[in-house]
Each structure stands twice: as C-alpha cells, then as structure tokens.
Amino acid sequence: MTPPLIDGKSFASGIRSRVASGVLALSARGITPGLAVVLVGEDPASAVYVRNKGVQTREVGMNSYEHKLEATTSQADLLALIARLNRDSDVHGILVQLPLPGHIDSDAVLNAIDPAKDVDGFHVINAGRLATGQKAMVPCTPLGCLMMLRDRLGDLSGLDALVIGRSNIVGKPMAQLLLAEGCTVTIAHSRSRNLPDLARRADILVAAVGRPEMVQGDWIKPGATVIDVGINRIERDGKPRLVGDVDFAAAAAVAGAITPVPGGVGPMTIACLLANTLTACCRANGLPEPE
Ligand code: NDP
C-alpha cells in the first residue's frame, strides 16, 4: 500500500497564495516587494532555476530584477553589483545563483549581501543566528522541508531525526531547524559508518546527498516520515528521469509518509524564497511579519 504522499506541489501553491495576499496587502501602502536574482555564466540548470524564480516572483505580484552576467565577470564587478543592490531600496531580497564560476570566491560574494536582504539565508550572520536561536533568514530548501514535516507530524519534539548530508545550503541548516524543534538530530555524511543502522532509528529521515536512490527501503523505520531533497538526473530504459536520493518504491512500502521526486521538496524551495522576500520587505518597512 502506498503511504500518504507529502504533496509539495500543492503545499507550495498554498504558500504562494498566502504570499500573493501579503503582497496585495502591501500594495495598499504603496509598497511592492522586489527580488533581485544574479546569474553569472551559462550553466543550463541554473538558467532554468533563475527563469522559474522570475516567473513565480512576478506571479505573486512582486518585482523581479534579473541580472545576467558573463561567465568571465570579475569578482570585483560582481561585488560592485551586490553593493548597488544592497543600497537599492526597491530591492528587498538578493539571491546569487550558485554555483559561481571557479574564479569567484562564493563565500566572499554571499557574505557581501546585506544579511537583511539575504533571502537564501546563506550569509554567515544568518547561519550564526539560526545556530544560536536568533531571528534569521532561513535557507529555503530546509525551511520548506520543515514546513512539510510540521504539517504532517505537528509537534516534532523528542523525535529522532537523521539528516544525511552536511552542506551549508541543505544539511546543516536542516539539522539546526530540527534541533530547534526539539528533535534528537544525527547528521550523517560521506564518512559516516553504519548509515543503514542510523537510518533505521530515525522517525524523520531527510536525505540531501545527491546520489540517486541511495537510501534503501530496508533502511527505513516502519512509519517514519521521509523527506527526499535529492534531485538526480539519470537514464532508465533509455529515457531521462528525475529521481531522488531515496529508492522511492521500496521506501514508500515502509514509510508513514514520503515526499516524491519530482513534486516534493523541489516546488517548496521557490515558494519559501518568495515567503522570505515578503518577510524581508515587511521587516525593511517596520511592518509585522507574515505568519
Ligand atoms: P552537496 O554535494 O553540497 O552535499 C552532499 C552531502 O552528501 C555531503 O555532505 C556529502 O558528505 C554527503 N554524501 C555524499 N555521499 C554520501 C554517502 N555515500 N553517504 C552519506 N553521505 C554522503 O549537495 P547539496 O546539499 O547541495 O544537495 C544535496 C542534494 O539535494 C542534491 O541532489 C541536490 O541536487 C539536491 N538539492 C535539491 C534542492 C531542491 O530544491 N529540492 C535544493 C538544493 C539541493 P561530505 O560532506 O562528507 O562530502
């Protein structure tokens, strides 16, 4: 029997509707939230993400400012653009699409963004605030995962959570969020031993690895909630397919609930980006934050 699917697509659509209502309410005060997205180079996947972000930003009624720079752009020029966007009062959120070309120091660029406009939540100040329980901009993908977990499970306090992956953009902030919810959190990575045994103890399993279908069905604790962040492009039976980090069919036979790929975590990421931009705009204008 298939367990309840966690439908990220419809969840994300609900978030976008709430953001659109918030944007409408701001328009009565003559305020329009603005999101600037900076793309350096021609990476095809990044170009698709940036295009989708622009479309969805406009759909909820916000202004979208897209800056497409040559792959050869110098770090100094990129930093100068970010300084300009930091000063621009029409811009409430700034996102620099990763990965950046190799000659650019990503940390230097991300840390040049005004933390109040850092809607991706990658600035070291926001990472530090999240880790110390202060009001932060929270990275969009883990924020989306947390929303779905809360919706499915309610109070997460006391649950055993395993996060597989320790990147700054997914694994680490995910672990911080779950810790703040009162979970007992284990973070696994490429050096972890006995990963299947760690997984079998987890009431919540978040996979953010980037290895197609690595998490097997017999790793899943019966009834566990499985959040699959992975997006892997593979070929099967001669056809291109998108799969997650979890063997979906096998895990679905054991889990209490599971996110599909596609249609799970993916759609939540941009929805949370828009929610963060609305929050940033409200904070910048001294207005109450949306729920
Ligand atoms: P990274 O490559 O930055 O991190 C991957 C993590 O997985 C690392 O911590 C790595 O460990 C760990 N890892 C690698 N191999 C193993 C293994 N065999 N066993 C256990 N851990 C392992 O990836 P990201 O965090 O950026 O992304 C993870 C996945 O999520 C990717 O598929 C990406 O496409 C997807 N993603 C999806 C998003 C969405 O919107 N749905 C948004 C962002 C990412 P170590 O640190 O030791 O190297």
Q: Which residues line ligand 1 (CB under 6 A)?
A: 141, 164-167, 169-171, 188-192, 195, 208-211, 229-232, 265-266, 269
Going by CA atoms, what residue is nearest to atom 30 of ligand 1?
230
- 20 and 60 Cβ atoms separated by less than 8 Å: yes
pLDDT in tens, the chain (291 residues): 566 899 999 999 999 999 999 999 999 999 999 999 999 999 999 999 999 999 999 999 999 999 999 999 999 999 999 999 999 999 999 999 999 999 999 999 999 999 999 999 999 999 999 999 999 999 999 999 999 999 999 999 999 999 999 999 999 999 999 999 999 999 999 999 999 999 999 999 999 999 999 999 999 999 999 999 999 999 999 999 999 999 999 999 999 999 999 999 999 999 999 999 999 999 999 999 987
Q: What b-and-e string marks burial along 184-204, b requiring 16 or more CB atoms within 10 Å of the CB?
A: ebbbbeeeeeebeebbbebbb
Residue ranges of the domains in the chain?
Answer: 28-115, 140-266
Cα separation, 188 vs 192, whole angstroms: 6
Cα separation, 118 vs 95, whole angstroms: 7
Environment class of 269 (CB within 10 Å of its CB; exposed 0-12, middle 13-18, buried 19+): buried
Q: Which run of H or of E encompasses 11?
A: helix 8-27
Which pLDDT belongs to residue 2? 63
For the domain made up of 140-266, give the CATH fold: Rossmann fold (3.40.50)
- 163 and 186 Cβ atoms separated by less than 8 Å: yes
Which residue numbers are catalytic?
Answer: 53, 97, 120
Q: Is the peptide bond before 99 cis (omega within 30 degrees of 0)?
A: yes
Q: Which run of H or of E encompasses 36?
A: strand 34-40
3-state helix, strand, coil in the chain (%, to 5): 40, 20, 40
**Cα 208 to averaged position of ligand 1 atoms, centre (Å):** 5
- 258 and 226 Cβ atoms separated by less than 8 Å: yes
- 160 and 175 Cβ atoms separated by less than 8 Å: no
| DSSP secondary structure letter of residue 19 | H
Which top CATH class is 28-115?
alpha beta
Cα separation, 45 vs 158, whole angstroms: 38
Within this chain, domains 28-115 and 140-266 share the same CATH topology: yes
Instruction: Kindly provide the ipTM of the predicted complex, given to two decimals.
Output: 0.99
